[in-house]
């Protein structure tokens, strides 16, 4: 495994050279106003982009945003991101109105040394996500024409076999950016010899999304704490009734199996906050998990569960957390996520927060980011890394 890094590229000298940077600027936008609600992913690429600017490169940044279907869709435009990136860099970012068309060509051609351009959303082009190698390749050819070298700093997208992630590095001299390097360094501490006890907290809505990582983690972790919407399928697997809470019926059997095989490592909630509706002002009470009323929906873990999880976390030397414990966007159902997050910051442990939602929760709840060991910019990517899967974006850098 030999991955060349940004420092190697800088050592060669990049002044006057065009450097194509794949970033993950897939930031959450306010549904009404379109404003960026969390700019964490933009901030995360500043070390790489800033170093290239400083070194006098012509920096061509590309990214996806959301999941448009291979054709331009204004609600997923990267234009607001160009504005924010420019503010953070302290210099304007030239925005191309298309990804590989006339606007992109003239924008890139017009760059002076040390200037930055952002191309329009990669996923406005069917070739970006195509399963067809030739179609992806043709798009990669067009992208690669904008760079003399390629830097991958899009950790959040390294698990995608997409043109900008997988095929472009096959066409240009390629290196890993600072963010990708740091993420891989940190996550490899978790897959290597984590200091014990190693406690993992998983939340979020779907068991099916987390199944592979649960399977992969069970043999390695000391404790697996499960909250969030997905806990109800596990509770059902224990024979409990969960009212109108989120339930993946076809996963009940699997959860049953996981609990049996876990040798007591899996810890489930003992109480939850149950509401009469999925709404910020819904009537709600804390109930024991064996007493969830049939007409109520569980929207958060309860205080006794938080205390139990906190006790387990206080013993930990290594912690990985992915997924909120409840509907933290609504104040009434944010206590579980806040309680667990605070317990993680108090533990004398190396802690990693993985995932866009959990990272956004940390910031939305006003928690001090620096009291976590590392906040990953990758959700799916960090989970797949921990599963031990080969990540196409990393594999492409190794060649």
Answer yes or no whether residue 156 interacts with ligand 3PG by CB under 6 A: yes
- Kindly tell me the sign of the dihedral angle through the C-alpha atoms of 216, 220, 221, 222: positive
**Catalytic residue from among 356, 378, 379, 393:** 356
Under the criterion CB under 6 A, does residue 125 sit at the interface with ligand 3PG? no
The question of whether 356 is a catalytic residue gets the answer yes
- Our answer to whether residue 41 is catalytic in this structure is yes
Q: Residue 25's binding partner, choosing from Mg ion, ligand 3PG, none, with beta-carbon cut-off 5 to 8 A by kind?
A: none
Candidates 177, 204, 380, 393; binder of ligand 3PG (CB under 6 A) is: 380
Residues in contact with ligand 3PG, total (CB under 6 A)? Answer: 9
CA 322 remoteness from chain centre: 9
The binding site for Mg ion (CB under 5 A) comprises 379-380
**CB closer to ligand 3PG out of 31 and 249:** 31
Q: Specify the stretch interacting with ligand 3PG by CB under 6 A; choose among 14-22, 72-80, 153-161, 304-312.
A: 153-161
Q: What is the 3-state secondary structure (H, E, C) of the chain?
A: CCCCEHHHHHHHCCCCCEEEEEECCCCCECCCCCCECCCHHHHHCHHHHHHHHHCCCEEEEECCCCCCCCCCCHHHCCHHHHHHHHHHHCCCEEECCCCCCHHHHHHHHCCCCCCEEECCCHHHCHHHHCCCHHHHHHHHHHHHCCCCEEEEECHHHCCCCCHHHHHHHHCCCEEECHHHHHHHHHHHHHHCCCCCCEEEEECCCCHHHHHHHHHHHCCCCCEEEECCCCHHHHHHHCCCCCCCCCCCHHHHHHHHHHHHHCCCCEECCCEEEEECCCCCCCCEEEEEHHHCCCCCEEEEECHHHHHHHHHHHHHCCEEEEECCCCCCCCHHHCHHHHHHHHHHHHCCCEEEEECHHHHHHHHHCCCCHHHCCEECCCCHHHHHHHHCCCCHHHHHHHC
Residues 6 or more apart whose CB falls under 8 angstroms from that of 250 comprise none
Interface with ligand 3PG (CB under 6 A), residue from 6, 23, 24, 362: 24
Residue nearest to ligand 3PG (CB): 26
Report the alpha-carbon distance of residue 289 to residue 268 in Å, rounded.
10
Nearer to ligand 3PG by Cβ, of 177 and 380: the residue is 380
Site string for ligand 3PG, 342-361 (x = CB under 6 A): --------------x-----
Rule CB under 6 A: choose which of 6, 62, 144, 157 binds ligand 3PG. 157
Binding mask 166-185 for ligand 3PG (x = CB under 6 A): --------------------
Nearer to Mg ion, 127 or 323 (CB): 323
Q: Which of 84, 105, 171, 206 is catalytic?
A: 206
Catalytic residue among 41, 123, 161, 265: 41
CB of 380 to ligand 3PG, least distance (A): 5
Q: 58 catalytic, yes or no?
A: no
Decide: 70 and 64 in contact? Cβ < 8 Å: no
Determine which residue in the list 19, 20, 26, 164 makes contact with ligand 3PG, applying CB under 6 A: 26
Residue 24 touches which of Mg ion, ligand 3PG, none (CB < 5 to 8 A by kind)?
Answer: ligand 3PG
Residue 203 annotated to the active site: no
Residue closer to Mg ion, measured from CB, 107 or 322: 322
* Cis peptide leading into residue 394 (ω within 30°): no
- Shortest gap between Cβ of 76 and Mg ion (angstroms)? 14
393 binds ligand 3PG (CB under 6 A): no
In the complex, minimum distance from the CB of residue 342 to ligand 3PG, in angstroms, rounded to a whole number: 25
Which of 379, 382, 384, 385 lies at the binding interface for ligand 3PG (CB under 6 A)? 379
Q: Which residues bind ligand 3PG (CB under 6 A)?
A: 24, 26, 67, 156-157, 160, 356, 379-380
| Residues that are catalytic | 41, 206, 356, 380
């Amino acid at each position: 495994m030999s991955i060349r890094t940004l420092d190697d590229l800088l050592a060669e000298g990049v002044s006057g050279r065009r450097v194509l940077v794949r970033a993950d600027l897939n930031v959450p936008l306010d549904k009404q106003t379109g404003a960026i609600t969390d700019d964490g992913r933009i901030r995360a690429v500043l070390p790489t982009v800033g170093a290239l600017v400083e070194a006098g490169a012509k920096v061509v940044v590309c990214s996806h945003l959301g999941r448009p279907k291979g054709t331009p869709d204004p609600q997923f435009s990267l234009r607001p991101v160009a504005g924010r990136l420019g503010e953070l860099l302290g210099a304007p970012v030239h925005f191309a109105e298309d990804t590989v068309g006339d606007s992109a060509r003239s924008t890139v051609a017009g760059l002076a040394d040390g200037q930055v351009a952002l191309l329009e959303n990669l996923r406005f082009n069917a070739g970006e996500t195509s399963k067809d190698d030739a179609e992806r390749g043709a798009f990669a050819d067009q992208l690669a024409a904008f760079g003399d070298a390629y830097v991958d700093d899009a950790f959040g997208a390294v698990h995608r076999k997409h043109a900008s992630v997988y095929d472009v590095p096959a066409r240009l001299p390629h290196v890993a950016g600072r963010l990708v390097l740091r993420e891989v360094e940190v996550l490899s501490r978790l897959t290597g010899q984590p200091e014990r006890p190693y406690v993992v907290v998983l939340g979020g809505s779907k068991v099916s999304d987390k199944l592979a990582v649960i399977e992969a983690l069970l043999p390695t972790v000391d404790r697996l704490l499960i909250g969030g919407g997905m806990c109800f399928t596990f509770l059902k697997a224990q024979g409990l009734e969960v009212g109108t809470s989120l339930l993946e019926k076809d996963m009940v059997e699997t959860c049953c199996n996981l609990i049996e095989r876990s040798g007591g490592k899996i810890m489930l909630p003992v109480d939850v906050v149950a509401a009469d509706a999925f709404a910020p002002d819904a009537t709600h009470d804390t109930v024991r998990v064996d007493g969830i009323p049939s007409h109520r929906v569980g929207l958060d873990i309860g205080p006794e569960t938080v205390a139990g999880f906190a006790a387990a976390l206080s013993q930990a030397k290594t912690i990985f957390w992915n997924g909120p414990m409840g509907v933290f966007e609504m104040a009434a159902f944010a206590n579980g996520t806040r309680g667990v997050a605070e317990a993680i910051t108090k533990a004398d442990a190396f802690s990693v927060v993985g995932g866009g939602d959990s990272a956004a929760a940390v910031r939305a709840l006003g928690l001090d980011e620096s009291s976590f060991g590392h906040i990953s910019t990758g959700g799916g990517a960090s989970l797949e890394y921990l599963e031990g899967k080969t990540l196409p974006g990393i594999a492409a850098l190794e060649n």
